[in-house]
Every structure is written in C-alpha cells, then in structure tokens.
Amino acid sequence: MLNFYQGAFITQKRCLWVNLDNPLYVTYHDHEWGNPVHDDMRHFEFITLEGAQAGLSWETVLNKRENYRKLFSGFNPIKIAKFTECKIQKILANPGIIRNRLKVYSVVNNAKAFIKIQEEFESFDNYIWSFVDNNPVINRFANLEDYPTKNSLSDKISKDLKKRGFKFVGSTIIYAYMQAAGLVNDHSIDCCKSWNVYMVRCSDNSLYTGITNNVARRLEEHNSKSPSSAKYTRAKSPCKLVYQEYSINKSSAAKREAQIKKLIKAKKEQLVKEYAIAKQI
C-alpha cells in the first residue's frame, strides 16, 4: 500500500510484528490493535482470546477467531455463564479452537466473574478504564526489543482480576489484552497507524481536511453523524476518503493539516488527483 507524504509516495510501514502475508493479521493491525475499546463484549472477546493465546502465537488464535466467536455465543458473557457441561464438552471436541481443557473451562468461569464486575461498576468498561484514568497510555517504541511483555500496570490489573476470580489473566496476558483493547497504544514510531493527514469528499463535493491516528475509524465517524464526527461533515455526509498521507507524529500532522487547509480548492483537487494516480501504480 502506498501513502502520499508531502509530494512523495512511499511504502506504508506497519509494526514489525505484523505478518504481511496474512490478510487477517494486517486487517487486525490496521483496524483493531491499539484502538480504544468501550464495548463490554469486545473486552470479553479480547480477554478470552489473549487467554487462549498463552503459550502460542497470536496469529494462531487470530486464524481461529471466527470459530471462537461461533462456539462462544459471540463472546456474550451472559450466555456463556449459562453453558452446561454438555455444551462445554461439545466445544472441547471442536477442532476449530485450541482444545485446551483448562482454557475452555476458564472462559465460562471468567464470564461469571465478568458479570459480577459489570454489576459492581455498571460496566466492565468503567472498571478497566479506571486503571488508566480513562486515557490510553501512548508509547513510542522503535524496535521489537523495546516492547515490554508486561509492566507494573499489567501486574496491578492481573492481580485485581485474579482476586475477582478470573483465570488465565497473568500479567503477560493482560499486557497483550491492554494493547489489543487500546488501553496502551504500542504502535511503533514509524508505523502507518501513528498519525495521518486526510481529506474526504463530502456530498456537496467540498473537501474536508483532518488528522487522525485511525483513518478507517475516523471515516466511519464522519459518516455516522454522531457527536464524534466533525460538525462540518455531519451535515454533508456521506463522505468518501480521497486523500491521505502520514506524518511522523501528531505535531507534524497538525502542521501539514494547516498547510493543506490554506490551499485553494484547485490545489487540493490536484493533491487528490495525484493521490488517485499513485494508488494505481
């Protein structure tokens, strides 16, 4: 994939751990990993999958994700908590998942503990985000060896979850969950997910320029007409992504955004045209 960066097209970089030959892995990195999660079932999904990963590779689990989703009722903790012994045995006999007895039983156990947290804090989301004061921890790692497998925060969360009855929630598992759920953003310094400048074409043919660390999510917000969308695009959707370039950090992205916004419409259209041509190369 190519991106436009101040007049030059360059290969889009991703975090070094991504297997570029696996479309599932690339999609997961581009659209999920590090994005803040605020849906309780998605929280439970990531806790379940990270627990299943213990001793294995995340890619192995990712390849079996859809099977997990089907067998574990879309990761609905209320439904899972009611699983009978017969149901669990059928799951254990299915080759579509990692058939580790302790891991499978832990999902049912964790569903019950998960529900108790929801009852106490109104949602699991309220509980888990309180550990980071409702703000993601942003790290800026450059090399694979810079990434920790756990830290004091994952130790703290792991300890509290274990106290509440959870299983397969060791500190290493929890740190991986924190990365997946966006409590920490561990995209590398030169990753394409860092910061992007983009333009969308609105329904009235006007061009809106913005910056984001997740273009796909931002485009979805613009078209949702929700409070998280820009006031300008809210009344002019649907919007279509027609241009993007990435910057090394938020500050650089903001400066570039300001430059583009000062351009006359014809100059912006020229950028859009050049971007479209480059995508076809």
Residue 280, pLDDT score: 60
Q: Is 181 helix (H, G, I), strand (E, B) or coil?
A: coil
pLDDT tens digit sequence for 146-188: 899 999 999 999 999 999 999 999 999 999 999 999 999 888 8
- Phi, psi for residue 265 in degrees, rounded to 5: -55, -40
Cis omega (within 30 of 0) on the bond before 23? Answer: no
Residue 188, pLDDT score: 82
Distance CA 204, CA 64 (A): 43
Angle of helix 85-92 relative to helix 101-121, nearest 10 degrees, comes to 130
> What average pLDDT does the structure give for the chain?
89
Distance CA 214, CA 35 (A): 8
Q: Is 151 helix (H, G, I), strand (E, B) or coil?
A: coil
Residue 1, pLDDT score: 39
Pairing outcome for strands 195-201 and 137-138: unpaired
pLDDT tens digit sequence for 115-156: 999 999 999 999 999 999 988 887 878 788 889 999 999 999
Tell me, what DSSP letter sits at residue 165? T
Which residues does the annotation mark as catalytic? 28, 50, 58
Distance CA 249, CA 21 (A): 27
Residue 212, pLDDT score: 87
Read off the amino acid at residue 171: S
Distance CA 241, CA 207 (A): 10
- 208-228 b/e with 16+ CB inside 10 Å = b? bbbbbbbbeebbebbbeeeee
What percentage of the chain carries pLDDT values higher than 70?
Answer: 91
The answer to whether 216 touches 30, Cβ cutoff 8 Å, is yes
Residue 185 vs residues 77, 195, 217, 233, 268: alpha-carbon distances, Å: 26, 12, 15, 27, 32
